[in-house]
Amino acid sequence: MICHKTKFVRESLPSLGANRPILPLIFSLSLNLLSHAPLNGAIPASQPRDYPPARRDTQVDDYHGQKIADPYRWLEQSDTPETRAWIDAENRLTFDYLAQIPQRKAIQGRLTALWNYERYGIPFKEGGRYFFTRNNGLQNQSVLFATKSLNDEPQILLDPNQLSPDGTVSLTGMAVSDDGNWLAYSLSEAGSDWQTWRVREVRTGKDTSDVLNWVKFSGASWSKDNLGFFYSRYDEPKTGQQLQAVNEYQKLYYHRLGTAQAEDALVYQRLDQKQWGFSGEVSDDGRYLIITVNRGTDTRNAVFYREIGKPGAPVVELLKDFDADYTFIGNDGTTFWFRTDLAAPRGRIIAISLDHPERASWREIVVQSDDTLQQVHLVNHQFIALCLRDAHSVVKIFGTDGHWMRDVELPGIGTAAGFCGRPQDQETFFSYTSFNTPATIYRLDMADAKSSVFRQPKVDFNPQDYETRQVFFPSKDGTRIPMFITHKKGLIPKDKPTYLYAYGGFNISLTPAFSVANLVWMEMGGIYALPILRGGGEYGEAWHQAGMKSKKQNVFDDFIAAAEWLIASHYTRPDRLAIGGGSNGGLLVGACMTQRPSLYGAALPAVGVMDMLRFHKFTIGWAWVSEYGSSDQPDEFKTLLAYSPLHNIRPGTAYPATLVTTADHDDRVVPAHSFKFAAALQAAQQGPKPALIRIETRAGHGAGKPTSKLIEEAADKWAFLLKELNMEASIPGAKGR
């Protein structure tokens, strides 16, 4: 059973402690800018003298006849003595700056106090046992528990906190055999995407000798005989290139318990398709291996299958055109059900018979509606459909013949997740969260669709003290954009410090979720604003496509329009407005602060994709070409150059106060993006506003980051904004400024 059917190499979404899922600098100048920035290593007069010196090379690349300077190319080599010295100097400058903010210690104390609450993951059941994670509050990593009854005292099955003194080894994946006796689990060190898989006997809690290396972007799926599982891996990279080498030619394997990885059976590979990735899933009846084939982060995929019980059975290419998204839901014999956006950008459910797989024989089971159908699970021989309505969750239950049965009642306007299980299960579990509701776990009885609380967190705040409203505003081209605005009740929203956070890409949806960090921001008197930008998945594939490749500027226009609306509506003013985002959201912040630098008082770009001309040359960056385009293509090069944050920094410009954040083990968006952007920004900055970079050690793109590091990073960000936005904040244990 795969509870979370996620796409291959899907961008993760790091955030300031929000309960969200986790999957995207050399200063290059085009020739028409060369007259404004010397390439001989001279420091522009506007550069503050206390920034660490960054050597400027004469590297110039030719893109389709246009020369682009890349003077900080050397920062792409993160382990050279010169780069390490630059990193150390930048961190000294940044942490010294942050340490001088008097309220920083009190902010960290408040974050720590609020973060110290018991929280649970969503339970699932295998072989008569329930499995779930729990964090007692300040544990760096959540602990995996198992129990035979929900009323029994659960037993610790795996505690990642015992695996490293600093809490940087995290549990990144798990799969339990059908009989409940074996746990296959993956660990990641220091936030890397690389996973090491092991096997633990559930009864004894002891590991077997099984160890699988060089696994990335893969889950595990057990065969029904409980003797082994399917997984995907890459070839071992060259020594020293583990965090930067391009990841290609993924292969699907079967691992049999008790054998060495070298003996694993190769199930499927495509030497003619270096960018294909494979995800193997065993159908619930055990008859079929479903092979989902993805090309990077492109939402369009293929689906193949193989009959497991027939030795030598071929892999059948059931859906091979890569013309839409097809997500396998389950099957009834030779009838396969899929969630797809084929001819339905907001999603529908179809049935395909293996006996008559031609398109003319496909049957529509659940039609497209006004809501966006994001996920479907088959439980109690019914479809549980997770939908979005204006970026908040709606859950519907359908019969397998497609008739609507009932909706699942949710506590309010928020986000629901979970609902996994098997066709024969009569119960399932889900979580619900909103801006003022910590993730609460519910048990759903499928007989009557009644839910009951399984675990409810207790955080030291009053949810009734906060309010959320959803507004709609026009973007530059008139498109109607929604935005959530949350703050303390009684706050007069006039010229208040405001944190505008967004993502806008990769078909990823931003929905209401609780965040301790955001709660502290609002306690300090700040407003939190979350606009729903094009490029995301909130309104289906058409909404996604309206913000990708040649239309990427729409995303930036939406974000800029959100800022302008907040200012025009007197919620805030430019000097009190901060913008933030991570990964693809870091690109968003970088693009918007270079396009409209005077519109914001501060910017917090996190692990951002900043060099749009070279992103595809590192690790899994090639997988984002379907989203962004590639500088290898002349037309796409022009589009990328027009908004690439690194290439649009103008010397002598007054940029907002900026705190760039990245991590030395980020092998998703390699830290060179942030290094080069920060060096260029420091060289170009005009005026007194700081341009700083915070480089976390033993951390990656965001997933698996220890609680202690999450708290420290949030404290640094809020302290930075408190100072730069000139906030009159009231923090328990601190004096207002």
Give the residue numbers annotated as catalytic, written as ranges: 583, 701
- Going by C-alpha positions, the residue among 560, 532, 718, 489 that lies closest to residue 16 is 718
Exposed e or buried b per residue across 193-213, where buried means at least 16 C-beta atoms within 10 angstroms of its C-beta = bbbbbbbbebeeeeeeebebe
Residue for token pair 């509701």: 437
Q: How far apart are CA 689 and CA 692, in angstroms?
A: 10
Yes or no: say if 277 and 232 are a contact pair by the CB < 8 Å rule: yes
Rg (CA), the chain: 25
What are the distances in angstroms from CA 689 to CA 44, 598, 665, 684?
A: 16, 12, 29, 12
Residue 91 contacts residue 695 (beta carbons within 8 Å) = yes
* Unique residue bearing structure tokens 């407005």: 577
Are 456 and 426 in contact by the 8 Å Cβ rule? The answer is no
Q: Which residues contact 488 (CB under 8 A, 6 or more apart)?
A: 465, 466, 467, 522, 523, 525
Q: What does DSSP assign to residue 476?
A: T
Give yes or no for a contact between 445 and 451, defined as CB atoms under 8 angstroms apart: yes
**What are 26's two structure tokens?**
């050399």
Owner of token pair 């609460």: 440
CA–CA gap between residue 103 and residue 110 (Å, rounded): 11
CB-count burial class (<10 Å; 0-12, 13-18, 19+) for 57: middle
Distances in Å between the Cα of 487 and the Cα atoms of 202, 306, 469 are: 45, 53, 9
* H/E segment holding residue 591: helix 584-595
CA 512, distance to chain mean position in Å, is: 15
Single-letter amino acid, residue 21: P
Distance CA 618, CA 73 (A): 13
Evaluate the CA torsion angle 80, 82, 88, 94 in order and state its sign: negative
Cα dihedral value 13, 14, 17, 18, nearest 10: -10
Rounded to 5 degrees, what are φ and ψ at 139? -60, 140
Q: 317, exposed or middle or buried, with CB in 10 Å at 0-12, 13-18, 19+?
A: middle
CB count in 10 Å sphere of residue 320 = 11
Cα distance between residue 737 and residue 727, in whole Å: 7
Residue 208: name the closest of 226, 229, 184 by CA: 184
What does the longest C-alpha to C-alpha distance in the chain come to?
74
Angle at 454 between CA 448 and CA 456, to 5 degrees: 130
CB 663 within 8 A of CB 191: yes
Tokens of 669: 């968006």
Phi first, then psi: give them for residue 149, nearest 5 degrees.
-145, 145
DSSP reduced 3-state for 244: coil
What angle do the packed helices 516-523 and 707-724 form, to 10 degrees? 30
